[in-house]
């Protein structure tokens, strides 16, 4: 929001310090940059979480150190001095201790830091970071090259297909739940404003209306709402508004036939008691068509790219209902009440083994 992208890049490169992003910060630092670690927090990457935990210095710029990022606050980054840059003095020390509060606009602060930064090679630190990245590259994503073409694609595949087919040109507006974290982990964001999502409060039903707002403000942009089947049902009447306003918003329903994030917690922490998370749902293709939208359903991975391409080329609003497996789990994960140093990968492989 401070338009500090260039200053951030300059400071990072001038100092050779690795950069992690919060969910709402994704895109502020290009994810393909050699110093990018990806997202921090409960479903952030292993390398970003371990980097925070083992760092001797953490500089938080414009972020809130909220509980989804820091885990157990008293044990956050135990060996680090913490510098916190924010425009709101109330945010200092609200969640974690702060050694150096800096009351400043992010852009001004980063420009100042870039001026005084000294480049250091930090070979040991970088070799640990590269090792963590290499060890956990496949965490949460099983390569689907050899997977049966006639089976349902996984959500990471769907997200990567979206990026591939649209060439990263679209503005992605995500709803709340597993699909949201899969988008954050697997799309790759290079510019601010490329991803909009409801962080903090995490209000399901946000995705479609927010996408309509973006499309109205930026009619020249391709705008894709990526929603879960649960969240979509909280705002699906907006299909009428879409058709009436002739707004060509593209809707991608990541349809796992359940409230996936609730189901994941029930599986991991509540003895597989799937109370009220496995819900019946309407035929979304039929529902969309009833509203006058172009719509299709994807049941096999070999149908995915074509369906996305067709939807992208269609001049009006579209709905692509992609059936993904019910039993997906978003990894990496920092379980509630633990620290980023306890980040877990796929079952049985956790960072304690790194
Ligand atoms: C309005 C609202 N109600 C409940 C929740 C709690 N919640 C967070 S994720 C989630 C499940 C989302 O399911 P779905 O939209 O199908 O997405 P998925 O997790 O399956 O990708 C729920 C119920 C919420 N964030 N917002």
What are 182-226's pLDDT values in tens digits?
999 999 999 999 999 999 889 999 999 999 999 999 999 999 999
Burial tier of 245 (Cβ tally within 10 Å: 0-12, 13-18, 19+):
middle
Residue 163 makes CB contacts below 8 A (sequence gap 6+) with 186, 187, 188
CA dihedral 287, 290, 293, 297 (to 10 degrees): 40
Ligand 1 touching residue 204 (CB < 6 A): yes
Q: Share the mean pLDDT of the chain.
A: 94
Q: Which pLDDT score, from 0 to 100, does residue 352 have? A: 42
φ and ψ at residue 183, rounded to 5 degrees: -60, -45
pLDDT digits (tens, 9 = 90+) for 29-87: 999 999 999 999 999 999 999 999 999 999 999 999 999 999 999 999 999 999 999 99
* Distance from Cα 61 to the centre of ligand 1, integer Å: 29
Q: Which pLDDT score, from 0 to 100, does residue 140 have? A: 66
Token pair recorded at residue 298: 């994807």
Q: Which pLDDT score, from 0 to 100, does residue 349 have? A: 44
Burial of 294-332, coded b for 16+ CB within 10 Å and e otherwise, reads bbbbbeebebbeebbeebbeeeebbbbbbbbeeebebbb
Which secondary-structure segment (H or E) carries 161? helix 155-166
Q: Which pLDDT score, from 0 to 100, does residue 147 have? A: 86
Ligand 1 touching residue 325 (CB < 6 A): no
pLDDT digits (tens, 9 = 90+) for 130-146: 999 998 887 766 667 77
Ligand 1 touching residue 203 (CB < 6 A): yes
Token pair recorded at residue 188: 């790759």
Mean pLDDT of 324-330: 94
Task: Give the whole-angstrom CA distance, residue 352 versus residue 49.
Answer: 13
Ligand 1 touching residue 257 (CB < 6 A): no
Residue 117 makes CB contacts below 8 A (sequence gap 6+) with 11, 14, 15
Residue minimizing CA distance to atom 17 of ligand 1: 228
When pLDDT is cut at 50, 70 and 90, the band that residue 346 belongs to is confident
Q: Where are the beta strands (DSSP E) in the chain?
A: 19-21, 36-39, 57-61, 81-86, 100-103, 171-174, 195-197, 223-228, 250-255, 294-298, 318-323
When pLDDT is cut at 50, 70 and 90, the band that residue 233 belongs to is very high
Task: Give the whole-angstrom CA distance, residue 153 versus residue 146.
Answer: 12
Q: Are 316 and 246 in contact (CB under 8 A)?
A: yes
Neighbours of 286 (CB within 10 A): 11
Report the atom number in ligand 1 closest to the C-alpha of 233: 15
């Amino acid at each position: 929001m401070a338009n500090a992208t260039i200053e951030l890049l300059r400071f990072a490169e001038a100092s050779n310090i690795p950069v992690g992003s919060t969910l709402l910060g994704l895109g502020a630092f290009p994810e393909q940059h050699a110093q990018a670690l990806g997202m921090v927090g409960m479903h952030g990457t292993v390398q970003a979480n371990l980097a925070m935990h083992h760092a001797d210095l953490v500089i938080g710029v414009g972020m809130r150190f909220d509980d989804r990022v820091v885990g157990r606050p008293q044990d956050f980054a135990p060996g680090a001095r913490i510098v916190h840059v924010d425009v709101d003095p109330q945010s200092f020390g609200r969640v974690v201790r702060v050694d150096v509060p800096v009351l400043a606009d992010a852009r001004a602060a980063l420009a100042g830091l870039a001026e005084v930064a000294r480049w250091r090679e930090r070979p040991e630190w970088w070799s640990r970071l590269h090792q963590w990245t290499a060890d956990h590259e496949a965490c949460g994503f099983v390569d689907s090259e050899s997977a049966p073409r006639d089976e349902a694609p996984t959500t990471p595949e769907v997200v990567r297909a979206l990026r591939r087919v649209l060439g990263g040109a679209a503005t992605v507006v995500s709803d709340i739940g597993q699909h949201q974290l899969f988008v954050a982990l697997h799309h790759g964001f290079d510019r601010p404003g490329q991803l909009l999502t409801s962080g903090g409060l995490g209000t399901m039903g946000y995705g479609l209306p927010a996408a309509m707002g973006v499309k109205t403000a930026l009619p020249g942009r391709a705008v894709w709402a990526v929603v879960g089947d649960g969240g979509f049902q909280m705002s699906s009447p907006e299909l009428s508004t879409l058709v009436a306003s002739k707004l060509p918003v593209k809707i991608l329903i990541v349809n796992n036939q359940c409230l996936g994030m609730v189901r994941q917690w029930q599986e991991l922490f509540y003895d597989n008691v799937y109370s009220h998370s496995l819900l019946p749902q309407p035929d979304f293709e039929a529902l969309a068509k009833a509203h006058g939208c172009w719509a299709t359903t994807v049941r096999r991975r070999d149908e995915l790219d074509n369906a996305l391409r067709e939807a992208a080329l269609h001049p009006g609003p579209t709905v692509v209902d992609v059936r993904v497996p019910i039993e997906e789990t978003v990894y990496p994960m920092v379980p509630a009440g633990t620290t980023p140093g306890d980040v877990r990968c796929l079952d049985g492989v956790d960072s304690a083994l790194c």
